[in-house]
């Protein structure tokens, strides 16, 4: 699901003078309110509808994120809690023991197809509790529901209502399990929102504004994820045409002490993370996605950006301003591309640190300015980061 594309910087002839937008759009809680904050002495330019997002925070830190983990016994208990609450009613007539499986090893019978190629929890429950059998992920995946817990922490939940609706409409194809099926795969997106809005959409139970829907979605997500150090936030909302009603797809990111973790825009192809970054480091910025058909609940949350524990938090006093960061970005890339910035935001980046098995062991997080830009004479977009402590500047490109 995650694409990796190497960064390619196209050399572009520089020409013209600085353009400053007539109106700078900011979130209501933004501390940036005038063009005086922008750097206007270089080749960098700004979109007329430039959006600046600067969150309210009390302190800035560098810190480490690690996957939250419960004991094997607690993990099994939590899995049963989620199953009873969100899956049981959807699986009338199913053999529950047959459907509940775990990822630790694959069965050797080549005739078995997913998910039956993974062992049943009921066959190994005592060995899982004792640790004799590895069971990092517990799951159910059939044509009605999809539930995954990793180390006892919710990873994905798909209640299947949206998929069932689209299948009945002939929009989604028949399949044996729904997995991470998302309506945005099958339906047109008619609008995108990066800030709160009073604009209304019509869900299955009536009209609701974008702002109200975001608030309700966050309530449901908090309920699903429980008490966590990383809090859920919704930086982007997509309005989806479901052929008979509308739905809302939410980009769900994490937030620590008021500052969001970096999250890539939805519906954009190209480099999402890892070796696409120009400084050679690997970063994780793939957000979670939640979907709402009715304001009464969310139908799915695919991935969980609140699944981390925070450690090694060290407060930093040095902080580059927006103007200083823009100057650094301009000086870094002006000889290669001419950037036209359409969004500036303040985020924590998540550098991937791998373990001996090659899988992410932890994430090192640092505060940075992030500039989303359209390079002149190019079909790509660039996402430029300036570390507010060290001043390091790097980027990746997206062809979406």
pLDDT tens-digit map of 330-348: 999 888 888 899 999 999 9
Higher pLDDT, 4 or 41: 41
pLDDT bucket at 399, cuts 50 / 70 / 90:
low
Tokens of 376: 């002149």
- Mean pLDDT of the chain, nearest integer: 85
For the ranges 6-10, 149-153, 258-262, the lowest mean pLDDT is seen at: 6-10
Percent of the chain at pLDDT exceeding 70: 86
Query: For the segment 141-159, what is each residue's pLDDT rounded down to a tens digit?
Result: 999 999 999 999 999 999 9
Residue with structure tokens 């100057």?
Answer: 327
CA contacts within 13 A on the Cβ side of 141: 24
From CA 165, how far away is CA 155, in angstroms rounded? Answer: 24
pLDDT bucket at 10, cuts 50 / 70 / 90:
very low
3-state secondary structure of 313: strand
Higher pLDDT, 299 or 195: 299
Query: For the segment 268-322, what is each residue's pLDDT rounded down to a tens digit?
Result: 433 343 347 888 899 998 889 999 999 999 999 999 989 999 999 999 988 899 9
141, 157, 221, 267 from 289: Cα distances, Å: 18, 11, 11, 11
From CA 77, how far away is CA 121, in angstroms rounded? Answer: 12
Please report the pLDDT score of residue 79 as a whole number. 97
- What's this model's pTM, rounded to 2 decimal places? 0.84
Query: For the segment 76-99, what is each residue's pLDDT rounded down to a tens digit?
Result: 999 999 999 999 999 999 999 999
Please report the pLDDT score of residue 6 as a whole number. 24
Please report the pLDDT score of residue 29 as a whole number. 39
Residues 6 or more apart whose CB falls under 8 angstroms from that of 112 comprise none
From CA 200, how far away is CA 205, in angstroms rounded? Answer: 13
3-state secondary structure of 353: strand
Q: Please report which residue ranges of 255-320 form alpha helices under DSSP H.
A: none
| DSSP code per residue over 210-229 | HHHHHHHHHHHHHHHH-S-S
Please report the pLDDT score of residue 106 as a whole number. 66
Go through 81-119 and write b for each residue having 16 or more CB atoms within 10 A of its CB, e for each that does not.
ebbeebbeebbeebeeeebbbbbbeeeeeeeeeebeebb
Residue with structure tokens 């430029």?
Answer: 384
From CA 109, how far away is CA 138, in angstroms rounded? Answer: 20
Percent of the chain at pLDDT exceeding 90: 62
DSSP-assigned beta bridge partners for residue 232: 254
| DSSP code per residue over 182-251 | -GGGTSEEEEEESS----EEEETTEEEEHHHHHHHHHHHHHHHH-S-SSEEEEEEEEEEE-SSSEEEEEE
Mean pLDDT of 18-22: 40
Max Cα separation, the chain?
71
Higher pLDDT, 219 or 108: 219
From CA 262, how far away is CA 323, in angstroms rounded? Answer: 20
pLDDT bucket at 400, cuts 50 / 70 / 90:
low
Please report the pLDDT score of residue 334 as a whole number. 83
From CA 68, how far away is CA 155, in angstroms rounded? Answer: 11
From CA 278, how far away is CA 294, in angstroms rounded? Answer: 42
**Strands annotated E in 14-95:** 25-26, 45-53, 61-67
- Identify whether the C-beta of residue 60 lies closer than 8 Å to the C-beta of residue 350: no
DSSP-assigned beta bridge partners for residue 217: none
Residue with structure tokens 């109106």?
Answer: 23
3-state secondary structure of 331: helix
pLDDT bucket at 8, cuts 50 / 70 / 90:
very low
Mean pLDDT of 217-236: 93
Query: For the segment 24-42, what is each residue's pLDDT rounded down to a tens digit?
Result: 443 333 344 444 489 888 8
- Identify whether the C-beta of residue 229 lies closer than 8 Å to the C-beta of residue 309: yes
φ, ψ for residue 57, nearest 5 deg: -150, 155
Helices (runs of H) and strands (runs of E) counted in the chain: 6, 20
From CA 50, how far away is CA 88, in angstroms rounded? Answer: 47
- Has residue 356 got a pLDDT over 90? no
Please report the pLDDT score of residue 7 as a whole number. 24
For the ranges 68-77, 130-139, 177-186, 191-200, the lowest mean pLDDT is seen at: 177-186
- Identify whether the C-beta of residue 266 lies closer than 8 Å to the C-beta of residue 184: yes
């Amino acid at each position: 699901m995650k694409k990796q594309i190497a960064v390619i910087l196209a050399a572009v002839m520089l020409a013209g003078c600085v353009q400053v937008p007539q109106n700078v759009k900011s979130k209501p809680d933004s501390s940036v309110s005038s063009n005086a904050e922008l750097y206007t002495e270089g080749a960098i330019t700004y979109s007329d509808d430039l959006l600046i997002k600067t969150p309210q925070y009390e302190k800035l830190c560098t810190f480490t994120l690690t996957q939250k983990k419960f004991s094997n016994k607690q993990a099994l208990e939590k899995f049963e809690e989620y199953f009873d609450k969100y899956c049981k009613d959807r699986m009338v007539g199913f053999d529950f023991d047959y459907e509940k499986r775990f990822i630790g090893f694959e069965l050797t019978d080549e005739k078995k197809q997913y998910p039956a190629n993974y062992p049943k929890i009921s066959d190994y429950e005592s060995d899982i509790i004792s640790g004799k059998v590895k069971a990092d992920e517990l799951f159910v995946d059939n044509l009605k529901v999809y539930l995954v817990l990793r180390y006892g922490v919710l990873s994905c939940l798909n209640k299947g209502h949206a998929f069932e609706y689209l299948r009945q409409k002939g929009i989604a194809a028949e399949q044996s399990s729904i997995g991470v099926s998302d309506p945005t795969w099958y339906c047109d997106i008619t609008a995108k929102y990066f800030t709160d809005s009073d604009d209304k959409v019509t869900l299955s139970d009536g009209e609701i504004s974008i702002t109200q829907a975001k608030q309700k979605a966050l309530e449901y997500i908090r309920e699903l994820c429980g008490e966590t150090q990383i809090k859920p936030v919704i930086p982007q909302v997509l309005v989806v045409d479901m052929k008979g009603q509308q739905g809302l797809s939410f980009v769900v990111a994490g937030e620590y002490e008021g500052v969001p973790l970096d999250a890539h825009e939805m519906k954009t192809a190209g480099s999402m993370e890892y070796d696409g970054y120009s400084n050679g480091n690997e970063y994780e910025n793939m957000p979670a996605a939640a979907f709402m058909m009715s304001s009464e609940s969310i139908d799915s949350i695919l991935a969980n950006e609140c699944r981390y524990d925070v450690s090694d938090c060290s407060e930093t006093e040095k902080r580059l301003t927006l103007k200083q960061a823009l100057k650094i970005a301009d000086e870094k890339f002006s000889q290669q591309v001419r950037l036209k910035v359409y969004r500036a935001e303040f985020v924590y980046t998540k550098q991937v640190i791998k373990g001996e098995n090659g899988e992410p062991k932890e994430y090192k997080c640092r505060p940075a300015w992030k500039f989303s830009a359209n390079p002149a004479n190019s079909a790509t977009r660039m996402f430029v980061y300036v570390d507010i402590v060290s001043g390091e500047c790097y980027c990746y490109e997206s062809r979406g």
